[in-house]
Amino acid sequence: MTEEEILKEIEEAFNLNYERLRLEGGHALTEDIKRLALQMVIRYWKKMPDVAEKVTDTEVKISLPEQRSPKRRKFSIEGIVDILKEEDETWMYDIKTHDGKYVEKHLRDYEKQLNVYSHIWKGLRGEELDHTAVVALSLPPQLRDALRTGDEKRIESETAKWNPLIEIPFDQKHVDETIKEFGQVVDRIEDNVFSPPTLATLKEKIGGEQFGTRICLNCDARFSCRSYRKFALGSSSPTISAFKKYIEDLGPEADVEGWTTDNLEHSEIPEAVDIEA
Ligand code: SF4
C-alpha cells in the first residue's frame, strides 16, 4: 500500500468510527476538534509506524473485578491496552490523548495505572511482558501550529522533535497501594467529594507553560472551578478588566483563529432569510 492509500484508509476508518460513536453516544465534535483528533491518529502513525503496524492485539480489555473500597463498596478496575508481541519481547501500550510533558512530569500517576494492568496481564493471566509504555497523543503546541500553517518542512521538523512514547517502569510493590487508592477514589466519587487541584498545581510548569494555561484552558468546567478562578483572576478582589479577561479568555490567539476558521469553513450556513417577506 502506498502512503497515500494508508492515509486515505486511516481517514475513512476514523470517520466511520466517529459516526458510530456519535450515534451511540449522541455527542458530536466541532469540526476543529474532529480534525485535531484525526491529526493525532495520522501523526501517531507517521511517528511510530513500527508500533502502529505491528501491534498484535489491539484494544485488549484488562479487568480486575470484585475489589472492595475502604468503605466496603464493590468495584472493578478495567482498562484497554494494546499489546505488541515480538520474537524476543512483549510491550504493553496504553494510548492516551494526554499531553506528553504532563505524563513525564506525573510519571508516578501513570505508573500506578499501568502497574495494575501489568499485574493483571502478567501476574493473573500468566502472559509474557517485558515493557510497558504510555503513548501520549496530544500534539505539542509547536506541532499544532506547524500543521495550521501547512508548511511541510516545519511539520516534519516538529514531528521529529515530538516524543509520544514514554516508557513506564514496572514495580510490583506499588500494585496493592494503587488498588487501595482506586478504592479511595471510588469512595470519594460515591460520597460526592470532588475537589479540583490546588492553585499551586495550576501554577506548576509543564513544558514551559503553567498547568492553568496548558490544561485548564481546554477544560469545559473551568468557569465553575474555584482553583481556575483564583488562577485566572490572580486576586481575591479582581478589577473589572481582569474579570473581563477571565470570561473572554478562550485560549491563545492562534488557536482561537484556527478553530474559528475551521468551524466557519465546515459549517452549514443557513439559507439567507428574506426579512421583507
Ligand atoms: S479548570 Fe478543569 S482542569 Fe483546571 S483545575 Fe479546574 S477542573 Fe481541573
Distance in angstroms (rounded) separating the CA atoms of residues 56 and 67: 30
Q: Give the confidence band of 207 by pLDDT, cuts at 50, 70, 90.
A: low
Question: Which residue type sits at 20?
Answer: R
Distance in angstroms (rounded) separating the CA atoms of residues 197 and 146: 32
DSSP 206: E
DSSP 189: H
Give residue 250 CA to ligand 1 midpoint distance, Å: 14
Q: Whose CA is nearest to atom 6 of ligand 1?
A: 225
Mutate which of 138, 198, 202 to test ligand 1's pocket (most atoms within 8 Å of Cβ)?
202
Residue 221 Cβ < 6 Å to ligand 1? yes
Question: Which residue type sits at 93?
Answer: Y
Give residue 221 CA to ligand 1 midpoint distance, Å: 6
Q: Give the confidence band of 167 by pLDDT, cuts at 50, 70, 90.
A: very high
Give me the pLDDT at residue 71, please.
96
Question: Which residue type sits at 114?
Answer: L
Distances (CA, A) of 78 to 107, 138, 180: 20, 23, 15
128 CB-side CA count, 13 A: 10
Give me the pLDDT at residue 175, please.
86
Distance in angstroms (rounded) separating the CA atoms of residues 248 and 251: 9
For residue 161, give the 3-state DSSP assignment.
helix
**Can you read off the three cell numbers belonging to residue 93?**
501500550
DSSP string for residues in 109-128: HHHHHHHHHHIIIIIIT---
Residue 132 Cβ < 6 Å to ligand 1? no
Q: Give the confidence band of 58 by pLDDT, cuts at 50, 70, 90.
A: confident
Q: Whose CA is nearest to atom 1 of ligand 1?
A: 222
User: In terms of C-beta distances under 8 Å and separation of at least 24 residues, what long-range contacts does 261-266 make, across chains too?
Assistant: 262/30, 262/31, 262/32, 262/35, 263/30, 263/31, 263/32, 265/31, 266/31
268, pLDDT greater than 60: yes
- The CB density around residue 157, as the number of other CB atoms within 10 Å, is 13
213, pLDDT greater than 60: yes
Give residue 155 CA to ligand 1 midpoint distance, Å: 30
Give residue 187 CA to ligand 1 midpoint distance, Å: 21
Q: Report if pTM > 0.85.
A: no
Residue 219 Cβ < 6 Å to ligand 1? yes
Q: Give the confidence band of 267 by pLDDT, cuts at 50, 70, 90.
A: low
> What mean pLDDT value characterizes the chain?
85
Distance in angstroms (rounded) separating the CA atoms of residues 66 and 219: 33
b/e sequence 89-111, b meaning 16+ C-beta within 10 Å? ebbbbbbbebbbbbbeeeeeebb
Distances (CA, A) of 77 to 92, 106, 177, 178, 186: 17, 21, 14, 11, 10
User: In terms of C-beta distances under 8 Å and separation of at least 24 residues, what long-range contacts does 74-78 make, across chains too?
Assistant: 75/182, 75/183, 75/186, 77/116, 77/179, 77/182
Q: What is the mean pLDDT of residues 9-21?
A: 92
Give me the pLDDT at residue 254, please.
65
Q: What is the pLDDT of residues 69-99, one digit of tens each?
A: 999 999 999 888 888 888 788 999 998 888 8
Q: Give the confidence band of 275 by pLDDT, cuts at 50, 70, 90.
A: low
156, pLDDT greater than 60: yes
Q: Give the confidence band of 272 by pLDDT, cuts at 50, 70, 90.
A: low
Give residue 211 CA to ligand 1 midpoint distance, Å: 9
115, pLDDT greater than 80: yes
Phi, psi (5° rounding) for residue 198? Answer: -75, 165
Residue 242 Cβ < 6 Å to ligand 1? no
